[in-house]
Structure 1
Amino acid sequence: MCASYSAPSARGRGAARLAAAALASGLAVAAVLATAGPAAADGRPQSQGGATAVMGGLKTYGAAVLHDETGNHQISAGLFEMAVDGGGMLQTYCVDIHNPTQKDAKYQETPWSGTSLGANKNAGRIRWILGHSYPQVNDLAALAAKAGVKNLTEQDAAAGTQVAIWRYSDGARVDAVDSRAEKLADYLQHSARDEAEPSASLSLDPPAVSGRPGGRLGPVTVRTGASSVTVSPPADAGGVRIVGKDGKPVTTAKNGTRLYFDIPKTPTGTTDATDSAESTDGTPRTPDAAAGSAELTVLASTTVPVGRAFTSDSRSQTQILAGSSESTVSATAVATWGEHGPIPALSAEKNCAKGTLDIRVTNKGDQPYTFDLMGTAHSVPAGATRTIAIPLQEDQPYDFTLVGPDGRAQRFTGVLDCKTQGAAIGTRTQTLDTPAPAPTPVTAGNVPTTPDLAATGGSDTTPLIAAIGLSLLVLGATALSILHKKRTTQD
């Protein structure tokens, strides 16, 4: 599998210390960054747009040997498959050899900047490999000829491609067991050239806008490779409509289309002829509240570009796209409005190059927008835009909520997972489909010819879970002992 053996690390030792603290206090500790506002319960995580999918498992693979400071270890290397929400299938390779892949993990299409690829100078070479090998090149005879071998099976092609990717994604010393797969890996590694990061399958730019009612807020620009997208208007938004630059309602769009939120003007006092709440095209609309928010969603069916990264907040290893069927993709944007006070538009994205979560705030109001995060007060002046970098530790989960003037909560959740071999998990992996022993140590003259099956690995939460379980057993035993002594005294 693409998640292999990994040596004990500082992260694993840290988890053990956390587990020991939980055992000593009898409490389970969650390392979550949280800042909740009064409407936090209403907040939903913000999506970056694109495809979302569920990990199915390792489907086409061969054997490889990983060489590290603890020895040589057999692993499996090849193609994973994921089922896209709404329809479609993805084929991926992994770019994180030391972390396990969790079966049924939820994945989200992610820019390279939000993964280890963002700080990897060889990320462009990985994209070249994807475009010049299996499954993008499905003529195995032609691929074999380029690699200088006579025949390649699908398993050889998948294993050789994965090994070449690992050499660039993780800087790993890894070899394919099959000689043909190894020659393919060498050919791909030495032939690779830099290629640019592919564009998102579907996104809205920016994902948040704000302003005052009685006009159009935006624009929000559609970015997609699909021929067309469906525009879903806000639900129960009190007359808010999605329109084009001409003010007419929009139900479909294409790449480059600019969309606007048409926000009704709230009548003040008695409604008269000038407060009839007519839209720009003369059709009546329902007055809305003075402050509020609305959300639009765009949907499309398209192939996701090869080279797009996919990440999971469940700490399942990062994947990179090798092939896509026609798949359902989506993106969401939010508009916030108010008559007075701060009117913020909020969005966030991971920045792996700096180890931060970058929160972008645009304040279209007439007062500063202030909030407290991680014990630090922040203020964005009226009419200004600021990007606030929140420093996070590797693998640190975050979950916090910022609240707008209407009480709407914008929630940001995730895990900063930016490193590969520097953040190895201190447990060995097992199989995705069936339990299996740890990867087999490989010695000279003892190279295995058959691969271990792909493995769903443990994580550094395993010691924590074990410690919490032990803590509960100790507490239970103590309670039974006290009860027994009490009954003995009474007798």
Structure 2
Amino acid sequence: MIHSNLPRSTARVGLAATVAGLLAFGLAAPAAADPAEPYEGSVRGRYVGNAESGERIEVNGQRTEVSLFNLELENGNTLTTYCIDFETAIRGNAWYREDAWSNYPGKGDFAEPGKVHWVLQNGYPAVDTATLAEAAGATGRTTDAQALSATQAAIWHFSNDGAELTAAHPNVEAIYDYLVEHADELPQIEEPDATLSITPGEASGEAGGTVGEFLVETSFEGDIDVDLEAPDGVVLVDLESGEVVDEVGNGDTVGFSVPEDAADGSASFSLSTTATVQTGRLFKGEDENNPTQTLITAQEGEVEVSASATASWTAAPEPSPSPSPSPEPSPSPSPEPSPTPSPSPSETPTPPPADDRDEPSLPVTGSALAGLVAAGVAALGAGAGAIYLSRKRKSSANESVEG
């Protein structure tokens, strides 16, 4: 976008190998090879030349010519885009993919993307030149080229911190000042919805729960049918309500419900629809090894899009068998007490031994008392007999001596 004041033919030759020449005229570099696989879940397009040229202006003291760029999408539709990277050249035939503002890859810092969005909505070509010139207070005849240059300069002011329009036609300056001064009027400027995306694209987990947390974002107004490929028993559920779903919409978060007894496996779901690539969507170069300036859509466009996501899981581990509890030992039956035999009538019960303790003895009563009396009588008889025999022996001895 940087030019000297040399004659145009000389400038084109001298700048063909420079960043400025590539930016201003979209000079063709060697065509970039198509990526091996399309970028999943995002609109793709290729830079195919300039749509419209503006007037030369001076930014930060550098003479620059600006253009609107054509981005041809895979379905053949063409989007008109502005540049949001003042310091990087555009590569001829470079492939681009739609992405989020937060993934801006350029050399500028994309300082205020919300204000860039406002400029796109309120600048050229979203607003026709006559209306824009009147709002800005431009005098005399204002051309589309002037409105384009003023809008691009205002975008650079917010996409590349410190970029200032330092010289231009008075009408360009008037529109530039109007856009820059009014760009903060909206209290909140949100990023436009993605045309269609599912994030993340892959997830993994374990059977017996929900695998994956996939966010669906789309500019399509309504629900999109889900094309599900999954083993029996595996379903797609809304993570907020827990209900099985067969269609999803913008902002829905879903995951795969996998039964606990499922073997190792995987499942996927895909979405396809026709949606709008909205004004303000960022497109960045697909080939990170060959940088190209970052673009942002100046107008809306319809496109057929598709996206998909996949989840895999491992079988739930087998539960460890619980050890069988040891049986409680059965209590041994207490032996039956042997019955005490009753003494026969002829048997004399033996009196209990004497007890030296101070406890009183039990009283002796009944048959036990009769037995004690009989024993006493017998003892007395035995004593009398002993005395009698002793005396008789003594008398016999005396008679023997006398004789």
The TM-score with structure 2 as length reference comes to 0.58
What stretches of structure 2 of length at least 5 have no aligned partner? Answer: 5-17, 19-35, 318-403
Distance 1:82 1:241 in 2: 41
**1:78 and 2:67 correspond:** yes
Cα 1:186–1:78 change in 2 (3 A) is farther
- Residue 188 of structure 1 aligns with which residue? 179
Describe the SS at the equivalent of 1:300: strand
Distance 2:257 2:216 in 1: 17
Match of residue 338, structure 1, among 306, 314, 319: 314
CA contact (8 A) 1:205 1:222 kept: yes
Distance 1:338 1:4 in 2: 57
**1:160 and 2:150 correspond:** yes
Distance 1:238 1:44 in 2: 27
Post-superposition offset of 1:152: 3.1
Distance 2:95 2:72 in 1: 10
Post-superposition offset of 1:46: 6.9
Describe the SS at the equivalent of 1:126: helix
RMSD: 3.5
Distance 1:158 1:335 in 2: 47
Distance 1:80 1:142 in 2: 23
* 1:24-423 mapped onto 2 (5 Å cutoff): 47=40, 49-67=41-59, 72-73=62-63, 75-86=64-75, 88-115=77-104, 119-138=109-128, 140-149=129-138, 150-170=140-160, 171-175=162-166, 177-193=168-184, 195-213=189-207, 216-228=210-222, 230-231=224-225, 233=227, 243-245=236-238, 250=246, 252-261=247-256, 263=258, 290-314=263-287, 315-339=291-315
Cα 1:176–1:240 change in 2 (3 A) is farther
Describe the SS at the equivalent of 2:277: coil
Q: Note the alpha carbon deviations across 1:408-428, whole angstroms, 9 max, x for none.
A: xxxxxxxxxxxxxxxxxxxxx
CA contact (8 A) 2:75 2:303 kept: yes
Describe the SS at the equivalent of 1:187: helix
Residue 226 of structure 1 aligns to which amino acid in structure 2? F
CA contact (8 A) 2:196 2:216 kept: yes
Residue 174 of structure 2 aligns to which amino acid in structure 1? K
CA contact (8 A) 1:295 1:332 kept: yes
Q: Note the alpha carbon deviations across 1:399-440, whole angstroms, 9 max, x for none.
A: xxxxxxxxxxxxxxxxxxxxxxxxxxxxxxxxxxxxxxxxxx
Residue 81 of structure 1 aligns to which amino acid in structure 2? N
Q: Note the alpha carbon deviations across 1:164-208, whole angstroms, 9 max, x for none.
A: 111222232445644323321222122221633333232324443
Distance 2:314 2:39 in 1: 21
Higher relative contact order (CA 8 A, sep 6+): 1
Higher strand proportion: 1
- Residue 380 of structure 1 aligns with which residue? none
Cα 1:338–1:63 change in 2 (3 A) is same
Residue 137 of structure 1 aligns to which amino acid in structure 2? V
Residue 306 of structure 2 aligns to which amino acid in structure 1? S
Describe the SS at the equivalent of 2:54: strand
Distance 1:240 1:179 in 2: 69
CA contact (8 A) 2:57 2:149 kept: no
Describe the SS at the equivalent of 2:134: helix
- Residue 16 of structure 1 aligns with which residue? none
Range with bigger deviation, 161-170 or 211-220: 211-220
Distance 1:169 1:259 in 2: 35
Describe the SS at the equivalent of 1:113: helix
Q: Note the alpha carbon deviations across 1:343-402, whole angstroms, 9 max, x for none.
A: xxxxxxxxxxxxxxxxxxxxxxxxxxxxxxxxxxxxxxxxxxxxxxxxxxxxxxxxxxxx
Cα 1:307–1:67 change in 2 (3 A) is closer
What stretches of structure 1 of length at least 5 have no aligned partner? Answer: 7-11, 13-42, 268-289, 342-491
CA contact (8 A) 1:234 1:240 kept: no
Distance 1:53 1:212 in 2: 38
Structure with higher Rg: it is: 2
Cα 1:264–1:81 change in 2 (3 A) is farther
- Among all aligned residue pairs of Structure 1 and Structure 2, give the percentage whose two residues are the same amino acid: 31
Residue 179 of structure 2 aligns to which amino acid in structure 1? L
Cα 1:87–1:76 change in 2 (3 A) is same
Describe the SS at the equivalent of 2:119: helix
Cα 1:221–1:230 change in 2 (3 A) is same
CA contact (8 A) 1:201 1:329 kept: yes
Post-superposition offset of 1:249: 6.2
Distance 1:46 1:175 in 2: 40
Q: Note the alpha carbon deviations across 1:38-65, whole angstroms, 9 max, x for none.
A: xxxxx97874x34222222221121323
Describe the SS at the equivalent of 1:297: strand
Residue 151 of structure 1 aligns to which amino acid in structure 2? R
Residue 243 of structure 1 aligns to which amino acid in structure 2? L
Cα 1:87–1:213 change in 2 (3 A) is farther
Describe the SS at the equivalent of 1:323: coil
- Residue 346 of structure 2 aligns with which residue? none
Cα 1:155–1:114 change in 2 (3 A) is same
The TM-score with structure 1 as length reference comes to 0.49
Describe the SS at the equivalent of 2:56: strand
CA contact (8 A) 1:163 1:175 kept: no
